[in-house]
Amino acid sequence: MTNTNPYTSPEASLENAQDAEMRYGGFWLRVIASIIDGILIQIVVFVGAFLVVMLVMGEGTEESLHIIANLVGLVISWLYYTLLESSNWQATIGKKALGLKVTDLQGQQIGFGRANARYWSKILSALILMIGFLMVAFTEKKQGLHDLIASTLVIKS
């Protein structure tokens, strides 16, 4: 394949060809995946928090038990997203069910660090009135703010 545009480098042509091959996970698919993940996480968090609270019952006040339960929920959610998206699956259960996976900008598997950055960046996406998540519907590569920060894509596998 020859580059016929004198203003485009061969690297840019290759990048454009790779972009044409990638099918990005759109807004509504990602919303449905998020709902599936949310239901699963809530079940696991409820059971996990219940077990932890039962273990420490009588050790603290009601307020401290709420704090412990919330921390358990945060850790479970963080590990769920970060470990699954950086695994060979490259997806949470919800994304996997819908044929989506999380990649770097070249379509390769992301590591734990990038998955971690993506997870914590979702806080910023939520804090600005969920606009960071709505960006998925309007950006060229269907990236939310957290994807842009972590340099990730959600693609159809």
Domain segments of the chain: what residues? 23-156
pLDDT for residue 17: 47
3-state secondary structure of 101: strand
DSSP 109: P
DSSP 137: G
pLDDT for residue 64: 78
Structure tokens at 46: 């409820």
pLDDT for residue 4: 52
Residue 76 has a CB neighbour count (10 Å cut-off) of 18
Q: Are 8 and 123 in contact (CB under 8 A)?
A: no
DSSP 104: E
3-state secondary structure of 147: helix
pLDDT for residue 58: 65
pLDDT for residue 15: 54
CA 136 to CA 27: how far, in whole Å? Answer: 6
pLDDT for residue 147: 98
Closest by alpha carbon to 95, among 142, 131, 148?
Answer: 142
Structure tokens at 18: 């790779």
Reading the chain (157 residues) residue by residue, the pLDDT tens digits are 455 555 555 555 445 545 557 899 999 999 999 999 999 999 998 888 888 877 876 666 778 778 888 898 999 999 999 999 999 999 999 999 999 999 999 999 999 999 999 999 999 999 999 999 999 999 999 999 999 999 999 999 8
The residue written with tokens 């919800």 in the block is 94
CA 157 to CA 152: how far, in whole Å? Answer: 15
